[in-house]
Amino acid sequence: MAAVALMTAVNVHAQRIQVVDNDGNGIPLVSVLTEDGTYIGTTGLDGVLADVKGAAKVAVTHVAYKPQLITIASLQGGLITMEDIGYDLEEIVVKPKPLIYVEVLYRVYVYRNDSLCYFLSGIMPNAYNIQKKKMEHGSYYQAHAEHCNKMGAASTWFVRAEQFHAGIAGTNDLQGMEKSMKNKFFVTATVDDSTHTTYSNPEGVIGQFTRAGGQWRMTLDAGKMQMYANKAKGETKMLKKREEKGYEYQFTTIFDDDTDPGHAVENYMMDLNHWEYNDKKSHVKFFIESYATDHYYMDEQEWKDKKKSMKEDYSPQMTLDQLDSYANSHNIPALSPSVREAIGKLRQW
């Protein structure tokens, strides 16, 4: 009986892990999976996942880091260090044309009850009209454009974050924008130092803006931000709906810090969006990774030609061979073996 009790105690003991970068900073929004690609959980803003649910080995993946397969028993204090992929974009030097072209590779993962049920990958050509301040998508389907339209949202959030961080100087523009953020989302920004800003609402820390390795990185728990705003404004129907659906939404967006500040579309490098909610069948999780792979200036005719050539060169759904080739040629981390195994079990593959 004593032996059984001991085994039970061991089995129920939660195995906590913390995922950090080479400087020891916690990495938020790291996906933690089993060897066969079953979803376990996602790290918080401090890089911590409270329990790996008894897995002997876990695969850790993140849009900005090289994927790894880790044996839990080998860890010291549950600490996992991830290596940056060293991703970079060539700087645009000449700006004689009206459109900024940004080519994006996206990978979409959908889980039902923690099992991968859908995977989609493709290339989205985008053109940003500088004068109209409008993004155009050369999409195959509107759904694809909706996924990659997050690049526009990411740019908007980056500009907000950059202005908040510039609050060290305290400009009038910043004060107006900060007031707007407080009134709409009840978010305050604390500039901790020249490389770090913390975002909070009255319930606690909900995000951060960091500067390292020539990049600005912003992570925000937008679900907590939105739901607190619903509560504070008395929007009870929307709050109840989100609570009943188990709604969550977080994102990380990364921009180049070495190019001209204030041009968020030019500087956009990559992002990761994570949604969760309950539908009529089960609990659903969406993960969308996006990487800017090429960017340069073009005119309207070049944009039309580019959209046409992209349709001829790539199908709406890339094969794994096409994906591997494109990712390898653009220094994008390959799919982890655990994810690839899960994809292999899907019917469309």
Are 32 and 40 in contact by the 8 Å Cβ rule? The answer is: yes
Strands 31-33 and 17-20, by their bridges, are unpaired
- Between the alpha carbon of residue 231 and those of residues 21, 202, 236, the distances in Å are 35, 11, 7
pLDDT at 76: 94
Average pLDDT, the chain: 83
pLDDT at 189: 86
pLDDT for residue 1 is more than 50: no
Q: Residues 302-315, buried b or exposed e (16+ Cβ, 10 A)?
A: ebeebbeebeeebe
What is the pTM (predicted TM-score) of this model? 0.86
pLDDT at 8: 45
Per-residue pLDDT tens over the stretch 159-213: 666 665 555 433 444 455 566 677 888 998 888 888 888 999 999 999 998 887 7
CA–CA gap between residue 147 and residue 137 (Å, rounded): 11
- Band of residue 28 on the pLDDT scale cut at 50, 70, 90: very high
How far, rounded to the nearest angstrom, does the alpha carbon of residue 166 sit from its chain's CA centroid?
A: 23
CA–CA gap between residue 190 and residue 197 (Å, rounded): 6
Residue type at position 324: D
pLDDT for residue 141 is more than 70: no
CA–CA gap between residue 50 and residue 18 (Å, rounded): 8
pLDDT at 140: 53
Supply 340's token pair: 């690839």
Q: In what order do the strands lie in the sheet with 48-49?
A: 48-49, 17-20, 79-81
pLDDT at 86: 79
